[in-house]
Amino acid sequence: MRAVVHADGRLIFAGRTYRAALGRGGVRPDKEEGDGATPAALLPLRRVLYRADRGPPPLCAPPREPIAPDDGWCDDAFHPDYNRMVGLPHPARHEALWRPDGLYDIVGVLGWNDAPPERGRGSAIFLHIATDDYAPTAGCVALAAADLRGVLAQGLNEILVLAD
């Protein structure tokens, strides 16, 4: 099932509208690494990662797997692991998936620039938990934790992000 995300932060799914946080760089069809933009594209939900120490596994259609303290994501466009999950420590620039702030307690890995990754087109585009004030993300789509669990349980499997 597909959700539609509008540039004003509305995510529409299964007849309901949810508030979403989007990238600080807006929504762009020409996404580049580091621009802070959410890509305007059809983004399939590849898999769901979660912190097993912070709650039950989310109900969802895609494969799901727990993350560990040594899991990360490579965002170094010049490294062969670019836009891939990696083990930490890692020699290239990366972000840790095991975060103290809870934003990655549930992470939907969205299919952006991953088949195969092209250097500089953007990495680590996720569907994850929003901050309490829905602050802009680095390019991801973020929902309240309960909303994220809810849409995943209802069968979400892709997101269409519109630049409107």
pLDDT digits (tens, 9 = 90+) for 135-161: 999 999 999 999 999 999 999 999 999
- Say what the pLDDT of residue 41 is: 98
**For the chain, what is the domain count?**
1
Cβ atoms of 154 and 11 within 8 Å: the answer is: no
pLDDT digits (tens, 9 = 90+) for 57-86: 999 999 999 999 999 999 999 999 999 999
pTM of the complete model: 0.97
Cβ atoms of 118 and 98 within 8 Å: the answer is: no
**pLDDT above 90 (res 109):** yes
Which of 153, 163, 142, 157 lies closest to 56, judged by CA? 153
- For residue 138, the enclosing domain spans 2-161
Which CATH number fits the domain that encloses residue 123? 2.40.440
- Say what the pLDDT of residue 164 is: 86
